Structure 1
Amino acid sequence: MSAVRRVQRWALPATAVLVTAVVLAPLAAPGYALSYDMMFVPRQPLRADLVLPNATLPRAVPQDLLVSLASALAPGWLVQRVALVAIVLLAAVGAGRLVPAERLGPRLVAAVAYAWTPFLAERLLLGQWGLLLAYGSLPWIVAACLRDRGSTWRLLAACAPAAVTPTGGLIAFATVLVLAPRRSWLPALLNLPWLLATVLSSADGRSDPAGVAAFAARGADWTGPIGALLGTGGIWNAQTTLPSRSSPLAPLGTLLLLALAVTGWRLLRDRLPDGAAVRLLVLAGGGFLLAALAVLPGGRALLEWAVTSVPGAGVLRDGQKFLIPYALVLCLCAALGAERIGRREVLAGALVLPLVVMPDLAYGGAGRLRPVSYPADFAVVKRLVEQSPGEVVSLPFAGYHTYPWNRSRTVIDPLPRYLDAEVVRDDRLLVGDRAIAGESRRADEVRQALELGKPLAALGMRWVVVQRVAGEAPVPPAALAGLRMVHAGTDLRLYENGSSQRSY
């Protein structure tokens, strides 16, 4: 094999590895990267309320089951790294292989563009790694539909990572339904775990309509939410939007990418199998419409009706998640647009454009994914709770906390996954000044007791854990009346309810 052919063969995987290393560089250090929904613990227990939640909707089914099984075989920090590395590698290599181009340049442009989008950055900082597995898997799903028409196993392998979350499973199903409808039964089967969990759950499948406005796409500059969505951004959480998205370069970068994509559309249409590019465009357009629906005239009212009237329609509230097919088509067309123009300078510019426009994705979002270690108190409390199993209430009563030991970053309460016991936490979500209602009746009971100043011991839980957090009001002493402190650590205090009648 000649040197030129070796370079061409290995350039794409080498580029993918390089991009992955740049994005996830902080994970070379030991510990756990904890950010918003990204929660990994040393060993996640295999519990019924995680695998098949009854009190809440199954948003993490079968994700929690897979993490519990994986962490039984390997430490949680390793499971986390395998998952995050797989996301970026799958995205880069998949897009580079999928783009219909013989030349190496367009393949590298597609790889870098798709692995360096605002969508990936924002969802990564939000900690939604399960959804990002669907993002990384989508090029492989499309390839399996278009190029491997007779291989059910290839399609299964491509769809399986996407189906670890309900939204990812729906995106995989929609993709196969549009591109290879005769094989859509396969991703439909992969969606059965969360569908079954939904049927068995006692939670109300309808959602708080306030979530529609709270989760609507938002803009980071003068282009507004539509401009942000066109650039694959627009997430509802301002804290997970990189500062570069507010710079003057961001809308300019989006404009250049769109111009290249329009230029390259004809090549995509001509080189893919007959009608495939149009079907892919329809898929991307449908996803974009769902992402933008809450900010379009009449769209918010339609979604509010849907989430309050149709069980399960709450999955549409955070519509920006469905931008994944659009992001893929945009990057494929932009790479082909650079090829069609034909100048090396354009290819080189397209290759570095995402990095220039959004440089702060490097090093884990400019250091926001630096790992930390759990304080020793967690292991102590875990051991004590396992000696006398029972229901646990986590205080302060909130779903997310800002911990001093987590570099003052906000993350979902780790106790439900750290302890081998059912943990009651506030399942409401605070978005700005809005409180989006949850589904857990038990959480409502605890919240009401705290608001009325009643002792929690009367509710019958076995344990109460008080965590050291930043920016939250201290737990009122009345709430702890009748409880016996059994551990007083720097970061956690554990109280036992000797009169508890509820067991786990």
Structure 2
Amino acid sequence: MTITTDATESRTGVRWRLSWCVVLTVVVLWPFAVAVVAGWDRDSALLLRDLSVPGSMALNDLATGAHGLARAVPQDAVLAFLSPVLPPTVVVGLLMCACGAAGAWGATVLAQRFGAGRVGQALASFLVVWNPYVAERLLQGHWSVVAAGMLLPLVAWLSLERRRVWLVVALAVCALTPTGLILAVVTAVVASGWRWFSLVPAVAGAVLSLPWVIPSLGDASATLTDAGGASLFAARAEPWVGTLGALAGLGGIWNSDAVPDHRVPVAGVLLAVAAVVVAVVLWRRGEWSGGLRRLSVLAVTAVLVPALLATGPGVTLLGEVLEILPGAGLLRDTQKFVVLALPALVILLARVDVPVPRVASAAPVLAAGFLAFLQVPALPVDLSDLRPTTLDRGYADAVDSVEDAGAGRTLLWPPGNYRIIDGRPALDPLLKMLPGSPVDPGYLVVDGRIVDGDPDTVRLLSGLAAGDDGLAEAGVDLVLVETDATEDAGVSVPAVLTDGVSPHELLWSADGWELYRVR
């Protein structure tokens, strides 16, 4: 009878965890759930800032890292490889929903491992998907970083439980983006305690990093970046709480435009204080040891280091590193690493009833849940700009025309890799859709300042705007002009293409589009 009862309770526990985690994920990440359904229409796209996932993608040189920096490797290569069978929008929608549910479930079992009851476990899963980091990073378009961040509690639990196979699977999902792989490997190694088992995530991480490490080795100097990026991408202070308080609440992204309209930073600071109080109580009771201690130290480090690097001396130091250390540009957006605090945070807040034993055990947990909610009280509404949109058919026609022309190196005009589509700023989807080798200028404009960028491409674009024809010398085969975007950008079609004596041939034109072959 006892065995039967325990088995029934175990099945019931699994069901409620899964049900709660799935419902929570769909409520918060509903734009991606919609993408799973609507994404089968190949004109559907997910577009917002750095999020650029059209309905069809080409396995071009940018996706594989064969030409230029491996900026979106291997995530774009995976999406492009699957594109003939599964629309990329559907794949991203499935991945985000799966990572949200899996990460939330991982938080429940991680919290349970350290003594949390059911209400505390429910709070732990809530913290995984309902927090400022998820909001800000998704509004910036960093979907794969968010997917990895949500999986960190699961990664920590798998490491503590020594689940090798599933840990490697989780690392592989996180490895869709270099940042995600770094987050997962660091979490796994710290959770495992630097023992022999830590070799599993370390070796797996080394292998999984090869798709972006190998292309970068071809020209290591190209991975150096402007020292000014240290200040432009530093963690941002928020009202009433400053930079440290913003980071303690998992907020503080550099781009203020990516901050949700509804945001209460003070609530995050109160949660962080509660977590510290719980840690002190558990330490006094001898329960703050082993994996919890290591993850807590990681959490403190994940908050303090970005805060220090946002100070004057920190910015100077990081700027020097960016200029002399190849690949250090991966580290300049320091706030994205604050999510390393999440595993410890979900454990400690799930045990928030410990300091107040005379109060009904659910009350402190529910209070913490309310504070977590209050940080971004309208999160599903704030993420509404992530819902799928429909690309104009001109994009598909342009891709067909470039393919018919033999692809090769295709330069896009107007200059820059961002467009305004359906009222949203987004990375130009043509960089993902065109076959061959689309030319990505690679620069960013932050607060009116140009950061990074391929110098040769920037010079070519500047020359075209000034009337100089350097297309053939630069090895460009085709020029695709989006005339509507050109007008919106306040520039004109390069005179070298339209001056009447141009050697370049107009191959195709349609409403809002022109394609030229370089002669």
Q: TM-score, normalised by structure 2?
A: 0.87
Partner residue of 2:385? Answer: 368
Change (3 A) 1:496 1:268: farther
Q: 2:107 aligns with which of 85, 91, 95?
A: 95
Deviations 1:101-133 (A, max 9, x none): 352100000110121110111111111112122
Q: 1:279 aligns with which of 294, 316, 338?
A: 294
Indicate if the aligned counterparts of 2:418 and 2:425 stay in contact, CA closer than 8 A.
Answer: yes
Letter in 2 for 1:9: V
Q: Percent identity?
A: 28
Partner Cα separation in structure 2 for residue 19 and residue 473 of structure 1: 44
Partner Cα separation in structure 1 for residue 444 and residue 507 of structure 2: 31
Partner Cα separation in structure 1 for residue 282 and residue 480 of structure 2: 57
Indicate if the aligned counterparts of 1:290 and 1:320 stay in contact, CA closer than 8 A.
Answer: no
Partner Cα separation in structure 2 for residue 271 and residue 139 of structure 1: 23
Partner residue of 2:273? Answer: 259
Indicate if the aligned counterparts of 1:397 and 1:425 stay in contact, CA closer than 8 A.
Answer: no
Partner Cα separation in structure 2 for residue 272 and residue 160 of structure 1: 32
Partner residue of 1:51? Answer: 64
Q: How does 1:302-381 map to 2 (within 5 A)?
A: 302-338=317-353, 340-341=355-356, 343=360, 344-363=362-381, 365-381=382-398
1:494 Cα deviation after fit:
2.3
Change (3 A) 1:119 1:196: same
1:454 aligns with 2:498: no
Partner residue of 2:514? Answer: 494
1:441 Cα deviation after fit:
4.5
Partner Cα separation in structure 2 for residue 49 and residue 277 of structure 1: 41
Partner residue of 1:230? Answer: 248
Indicate if the aligned counterparts of 2:107 and 2:128 stay in contact, CA closer than 8 A.
Answer: yes
1:277 Cα deviation after fit:
1.8
Partner Cα separation in structure 2 for residue 268 and residue 475 of structure 1: 66
Partner Cα separation in structure 1 for residue 436 and residue 182 of structure 2: 31
Indicate if the aligned counterparts of 2:67 and 2:437 stay in contact, CA closer than 8 A.
Answer: no
Partner Cα separation in structure 2 for residue 49 and residue 301 of structure 1: 32
1:236 Cα deviation after fit:
0.7
Partner residue of 1:20? Answer: 25
Partner Cα separation in structure 2 for residue 387 and residue 201 of structure 1: 32
1:203 Cα deviation after fit:
5.2
Change (3 A) 1:267 1:123: same
Partner Cα separation in structure 2 for residue 153 and residue 268 of structure 1: 32
Q: How does 1:135-150 map to 2 (within 5 A)?
A: 135-148=149-162
Indicate if the aligned counterparts of 2:279 and 2:288 stay in contact, CA closer than 8 A.
Answer: no
Indicate if the aligned counterparts of 1:485 and 1:493 stay in contact, CA closer than 8 A.
Answer: no
Moved more, 264-273 or 339-348: 264-273
1:274 Cα deviation after fit:
4.5
1:281 Cα deviation after fit:
2.0
Indicate if the aligned counterparts of 1:231 and 1:254 stay in contact, CA closer than 8 A.
Answer: yes
Moved more, 133-142 or 461-470: 461-470
Partner Cα separation in structure 2 for residue 36 and residue 260 of structure 1: 35
Count residues with an aligned counterpart.
486
Q: 2:122 aligns with which of 108, 121, 125?
A: 108
What's the secondary structure of 2:389's corresponding residue?
coil
Partner residue of 2:41? Answer: none
Partner Cα separation in structure 2 for residue 348 and residue 338 of structure 1: 10
Change (3 A) 1:358 1:288: same
Partner Cα separation in structure 1 for residue 287 and residue 439 of structure 2: 51
What's the secondary structure of 1:244's corresponding residue?
coil
Change (3 A) 1:458 1:20: same
